[in-house]
Chain A
Amino acid sequence: MVATATSPDEATSASPGGPTRAAGRRWGTVALALAVAVGLLLGYAGGWLTPRLTRPGDTSAEAGFARDMTTHHTQAVQMALVAFKYGQDPAVTQLGVDIATGQQGEIGIMQTWLRQWQLDPTGSEPPMAWMPDGEQLMREGGLMPGMATKEEMDKLEAARGHELDVLFVTLMINHHLGGIHMVDAILDRSGNDQVTEAAQRMKNTQQGEIANMRSILSRIQ
Chain B
Amino acid sequence: MSVSTPAGDQRRPSVVSTGKKAPAGSAKSSTSGKSATTDKSGSGSARKGTTGGGKGGGTGKGGGGKGPRKPITPVKVSQGRNWGPIALFVVVGVLAAGIVGYGAYAAFQGSRSWEDRASDISGIVNYREKDPSLTQGGQHVQGKVQYTVTPPVGGQHNQDWQNCMGDVYDAPIASEHAVHSLEHGAIWITYRPDLPKEQVDKLAAKVRGTEKMLMSPFDGLDKPISLQAWGYQLKVDNADDSRIDQFIKTLRVNASVEGPTALCAQGITATGTEPRNLQQPSTEQPMQQQGG
Contacts and interface: CB of A to CB of B under 8 A. Distances in A.
A140 B99 CA distance: 45
A32 interface: yes
B100 interface: yes
Contacts of A53: 103, 106-107
A123 B253 CA distance: 12
B73 A31 contact: no
A141 interface: yes
Query: How large, as a class, is the contact surface on chain A?
Result: 35 or more
Contacts of A122: 248-250, 252-253
Contact of A17 (B40, B73, B289): B73
Interface of B: 1-4, 7, 32, 35-36, 39-40, 42-44, 46-47, 49-51, 54, 69-70, 73-74, 76-77, 96, 100, 103-104, 106-107, 110-111, 114, 165-166, 205, 208-212, 248-250, 252-254, 259-261, 263-266, 269, 281, 286-287, 289
Contacts of A28: 39, 46-47, 49-50
A157 interface: yes
A124 B249 contact: yes
Contacts of A19: 32
Contacts of A25: 50
Interface string A43-69: 101100110110000000000000000
Contact of A160 (B96, B114, B254, B286): B286
26 contacts: A3-B51, A20-B73, A21-B76, A23-B32, A24-B32, A24-B39, A24-B76, A27-B40, A28-B39, A32-B50, A42-B3, A42-B7, A43-B3, A45-B104, A46-B3, A46-B100, A52-B110, A78-B165, A108-B260, A111-B261, A118-B110, A121-B254, A123-B249, A124-B249, A142-B166, A142-B209
Interface of A: 2-3, 6, 14, 16-17, 19-21, 23-25, 27-28, 30-32, 34-35, 39, 42-43, 45-46, 49-50, 52-53, 70-71, 74-75, 77-78, 81, 85-86, 104, 107-108, 111, 118, 120-124, 127, 141-144, 147, 150, 154, 157-158, 160
Given A31-B47, A53-B107, A120-B249, A75 B165 contact: yes
Contacts of A150: 208
Contact of A35 (B47, B111, B114, B287): B47
Contact of B4 (A30, A39, A77): A39
B84 to A, nearest CB: 17
Contacts of B100: 42, 45-46, 49
Contact of A74 (B1, B248, B259, B265): B265
Contact of B264 (A74, A141, A157): A74
